[in-house]
Amino acid sequence: MFCRNCGKEITDNPAFCPNCGTRLAAESMEGVSPKSRLAATLFAWFLGQFGAHRFYTGKIGTAVVMLVMGIVGWATIWIFGLGLILLIPVWIWALVDFIYAVSGYAKDAEGRIIKRW
């Protein structure tokens, strides 16, 4: 089980998290993803335009959309900057996902929040 507030693993079933002191309930700790927030953040920052962070979190459909938009955007950028029509929205999308990952509000494909660093 994991703490819903700090994301630390909890071995027994205490009433409060030993790390951050948050009051715990058994159902509240099940909503934390085992994925790493650091990995999702780094993927979003460095490879966000290709959807790497979405592949990592299991959101394959939107990851493929980002990948295709990124590849087509870079492939057509030499045609009077036409590729920017695809690249700018992908960059904004990746930046928003990065902010969500850093702030701890990103979710994996199963809807569990990614809290653990």
d(C-alpha 44, C-alpha 82), whole Å: 24
- Give pLDDT tens digits for 33-48: 888 899 999 999 999 9
Instruction: Identify whether residues 22 and 56 lie together within a single domain.
Output: no
Residue 46 and residue 1 share a domain: no
Alpha-carbon gap, residue 73 to 14, rounded angstroms: 51
pTM of this prediction exceeds 0.75: no
Residues 80 and 61 in one domain: yes
Domain presence at residue 109: no
Domain range for 11 is: 1-32
- 86-116, pLDDT tens digit by residue? 999 999 999 999 999 999 888 888 888 888 8
